Structure 1
């Protein structure tokens, strides 16, 4: 997760006036083609992430991507819809823009941070 707000080398601050929070998510699966995809959410309008408790797995069994009222939503529950309310038990991200790319070379435990240019 990152923003377009930053402090320059001369210690001046740049603060954009538009939505500037972006989120990247990497998903891996046990099937080929694609084995991994990266999602890039730009202009994030909302996010709700619940850490997996100890002694539980972090496997996502189903998920949904939808567009509603100018926002793209990803959620780890295929029954999710923003009109039904934002359930506390569901992980979700909402943003004005969503891009994705195949990331088959990014399998394994290593954390990956791709650039925005190739999405």
Structure 2
């Protein structure tokens, strides 16, 4: 499972074509991390760089590929908008653009960078973007971690 770095608008066009513009897909899981941590001696270690990374697993109802993982590095904005109870969680089309050195992904083709909260959708922006085919990750199984003993939650 090799990572493919997205460098240009042409890379974006090719990727969006390959994954069908996210049509009939869903956001299955996501994982966010930073380089900041508290050591065993309780000292804090942190980066002065944009150190937030987000990995997102998408699955879709088509093959080749049927699941992909996006890796956003140097995240500058991260907005998750869960669907309401009366809405499905299917993504019918997404937007992915490179503008002024940042990658923007939004779960709606109509989403606008200059009015990001006009439509309440999930969106993210970051300095770097990579993707990989994880078609073997189809199904219900969680890939980014499982809560142990869910009965006690």
Q: TM-score, normalised by structure 1?
A: 0.88
Matched, 1:98 2:129: yes
Match runs of 1:34-73 below 5 Å? 34-73=65-104
The CA deviation at 1:80 is: 2.3
- Can you give the 5+ residue segments of structure 2 that lack an aligned partner in the other structure? 1-31, 146-153
Tell me what 1:23 maps to.
54
Deviations 1:32-91 (A, max 9, x none): 1100000010111001111111132100000011101111000111122313x1124121
Once the two structures are overlaid, the 10-residue window that deviates more, 8-17 or 91-100, is: 8-17
Q: Runs of 4 or more off by more than 6 Å in structure 1?
A: none
Distance (Å, rounded) in 2 between the aligned partners of 1:57 and 1:16:
39
The number of residue pairs the alignment matches comes to: 113
Query: SS at 1:82's partner residue?
Result: coil
The CA deviation at 1:101 is: 0.3
Name the CA shift for 1:110/1:88 in 2 (closer, same or farther; >3 Å): same
Which of 107, 115, 119 is equivalent to 1:76?
Answer: 107
- Can you give the 5+ residue segments of structure 1 that lack an aligned partner in the other structure? 115-119
Tell me what 2:43 maps to.
12
Distance (Å, rounded) in 1 between the aligned partners of 2:142 and 2:104:
24
For the aligned residue pairs, the C-alpha RMSD in angstroms reads 1.5
